[in-house]
Structure 1
Amino acid sequence: MNQIGEQLQVMYLEYWNRLKGALADGNVNLHSLSNPFLIDADEPYQEASIKVLFVGKETNGWGQYIDHVDREPEEAICDLQNDYIRFRRDGKWGHTPFWRACRIIYDKLNTGGPKDGYMTSNLIKLDQNRTRPSPEVEEIICNNFPLLPYEIKILRAC
């Protein structure tokens, strides 16, 4: 794992159990939640001259949170970061409006730069039933898993 990924992992670890406890306390149906969308920076991003982070609202499915919730946090986080890298390299969603727009904007800013050297993240790190969480669940997630400002800080430092 690269230095950026390690910094992100440390930050994710800080909030992992906090989210888990808050969801349990809120009596949330864990089967309805996706995995957290945890990012990692691969080589194209690190090589890009102009760093770009695109932020979506939430995933449209990202596996099942219930599959990772009781695993060792370090292992679960590492696996989710690896899923992010595989997802980005696979590119099977590249035809959708969000991903096309990301690529076009990035390419305009980084003419001749590495292909797909931008990063993506989400405002809300988990979805519920493949869409935006209910207001109650969204509040739990946002209050206990406020990752985006820290992701931005870590990505800016590289």
Structure 2
Amino acid sequence: MLSSLSADSMNSALLTLYTEYLPEINKLIKSCKWESGVSKPFFMHVSDEYIHAPHKILFVGRETYGWEDFNESDSPIPSIELYKNVYESNKHYNSPFWWFREGLSQEFGIDKSEFMKATLWTNISKVDVGKRRPTGKEFDQLVQLFINLLINEIAIVKPDLVLIMTKDGFYNWHLNYYNWQKNKPYEESDHEVKLERSSTESTKLDRLITNNLLPVHSYQMCHPRALCRKGGYRPRANELISIIRKQADFQQESLI
């Protein structure tokens, strides 16, 4: 769907957002015992291809599998440039995560040759620790902050569809107990507040329901790697892509 916003205006807003969040991110990272293994934050950059895509899709993964090392003195710009360089290389990575992104993008009319620039990718955790997900009390605070940051990223890049690509228990806990009603990180007094989900035709895919913090078409699925088990990746991936396409029928909605 066409947007009146430009890539430049979105990128300017993202830079302002990341600059605002970076001091708190750095503070929490510095408080962690695993600081030496932490990556640079994973910050997005919007291409013109995303602006002109028939439908705007934001894929949300878990964490990077190796990124450049964290440097407290960095502004957000080195992280943004790193993201930009990966996308402009147009290298097609050979893994279920990338296969699924490409397949779903094509289903929504995005050409295979452009899907890396014409869609956006971020992660729930903006950092990895030695190519793994962060753990520990301090990182719990950090991941809650990252969910808050994700919501603000979504408000800027205005995707038509958001797909969270993990049902990992660690990330599910943080998604469940983030305070979606008040849009703020978890506190013990919020223990009864949970992210609302509705079922789809597959147990591997849920629709997410929030108070306008996420787009209407926001979904959560298992990590695509899990689709490779017992029966092979392709039929399972095609089933989920078909369900998402049927649920997010933008053409039909435009006629209502």
Same fold (TM over 0.5): yes
> Bigger radius of gyration, 1 or 2?
2
Q: Which amino acid aligns with 2:11?
A: G
* Alpha-carbon RMSD: 2.2
Match of 1:37 in 2: 42
**Amino acid aligned to 1:101:** F
| Matching of residues 1-158 of structure 1 within 5 Å | 2-24=8-30, 26-65=31-70, 68-71=71-74, 73=75, 77-111=76-110, 115-116=114-115, 117-145=118-146, 146-156=148-158
**For structure 1, which runs of at least 5 residues remain unmatched after alignment?**
none
TM-score normalised per structure 1: 0.85
Equivalent residues of 2:13, 2:156 under 8 A apart? yes
The structure where strand makes up a greater share of residues is 2
Question: Contact (CA 8 Å) 1:48, 1:114: kept in 2 or not?
Answer: no
Task: Note if contact 2:28-2:139 (Cα within 8 Å) is conserved in structure 1.
Answer: no
Q: 1:93 to 1:58 in 2, by over 3 A?
A: farther
Tell me the CA shift for residue 43 of structure 1. Answer: 1.6
SS at match of 1:129: coil
Checking the alignment, whether the CA contact within 8 Å between 2:63 and 2:123 is kept in structure 1 is: yes
Deviations 1:16-64 (A, max 9, x none): 011112222x243321101110001012111102000011011111110
User: Matched residue of 1:151: which SS?
Assistant: helix
Q: Which has the higher contact order (CA 8 A, sep 6+)?
A: 1
Q: Conserved in 2, the CA contact under 8 Å of 1:54 and 1:120?
A: yes
Question: Secondary structure of 2:78's match?
Answer: helix
User: How many residues get paired?
Assistant: 151
Which deviations, in whole Å up to 9, do the C-alpha atoms of 1:68-102 show, x marking residues without a partner? 3123x2xxx11211111111122435221111110
Question: 2:139, 2:91 → 1: CA distance?
Answer: 28
Give the TM-score normalised by structure 2. Answer: 0.54
In terms of fraction of residues, the more helix-rich structure is 1
The DSSP-based 3-state class of the residue aligned with 1:63 is coil
- The CA distance in 2 between the partners of 1:112 and 1:18, in whole Å, is 38
Q: What SS class does the counterpart of residue 147 from structure 1 fall into?
A: helix
Check 1:126–1:46 CA distance in 2 against 1; reply closer, same or farther (3 A cut): same
The change in CA–CA distance for 1:39 and 1:111 in structure 2 (over 3 A counts) is closer
Tell me: CA distance 1:99–1:113, structure 2 relative to 1, closer, same or farther (3 Å): closer
1:119-150 deviation digits (Å, cap 9, x = unpaired): 10100110111111113243132244432111
